[in-house]
Amino acid sequence: MAAAGALGGFGMVMLILYSGKLADGRATSTTLLVPFPPAQPTPQNLAAICQQGQGRPRYPDSIFPRSGSGTLRRRGKAINRLEQWLAKCCREEGEDQNAAILCCARQAWKKALSQFCTEEYSTMSATYECCRKQGHERWSCFDSELPNPDYNPTPGYSAPIMPAESGFTFDANSC
């Protein structure tokens, strides 16, 4: 993955690649790429998280093949969930608005990835490497070798409306 780091920014924002499609327009499981994991929210990427969210890809179920894409589908679902929760965080208000938004975004990131790991363990397939770790090691693992650490948008992309994802409530007392 060292080569990926050398590409940087937009070189790694090849978010969905299609080199083959099924007759009904869906990508085959070998040609669809869901960049994963999402980066941990930081003061450096917070503006992009809040201002460019609609420019980052979403992964509706319709783009996945009906079978053989469980891992990609779970990753896409985690990204969709996180993006919705980040948008919710970006509407936070308060005395120190940026600190509240960042705290909320970090909670959303951890909750979305925790839920991803729960879903990973509910299958018979190999579990994502970071899910096998606990505590700080898990979060450090998820926050390494990132495909889009700056939350850059994809040029010309506009996210579709996705079904609402419940399950996240910001706890301002844990900031």
**pLDDT band at residue 5, thresholds of 50, 70 and 90?**
very low
Residue predicted with more confidence, 5 or 160: 160
Q: Which residues pair with 27 in a beta bridge?
A: 21
Mean pLDDT, rounded, of the chain: 83
CA distance linking residue 129 with residue 21, whole number of Å: 29
**pLDDT band at residue 87, thresholds of 50, 70 and 90?**
very high
Nearest to 60 by CA among 48, 50, 72, 51: 72
CA distance linking residue 90 with residue 104, whole number of Å: 8
Task: Show Cβ contacts of residue 40 under 8 Å, excluding neighbours closer than 6 positions.
Answer: 106, 109, 139, 142, 143
Task: Show Cβ contacts of residue 162 under 8 Å, excluding neighbours closer than 6 positions.
Answer: 58, 60, 80, 83, 84
Region 77-99 average pLDDT? 92
**pLDDT band at residue 31, thresholds of 50, 70 and 90?**
low
86 pLDDT more than 50: yes
Q: Are 51 and 78 within 8 A, CB to CB? A: no
Q: Are 149 and 45 within 8 A, CB to CB? A: yes
Domain boundaries, the chain: 2-164
| pTM score, whole prediction | 0.81
Lowest mean pLDDT among 14-18, 74-78, 129-133, 158-162: 14-18
Residue predicted with more confidence, 62 or 27: 62
Q: Phi, psi (5° rounding) for residue 94?
A: 160, -175
pLDDT at 133: 96
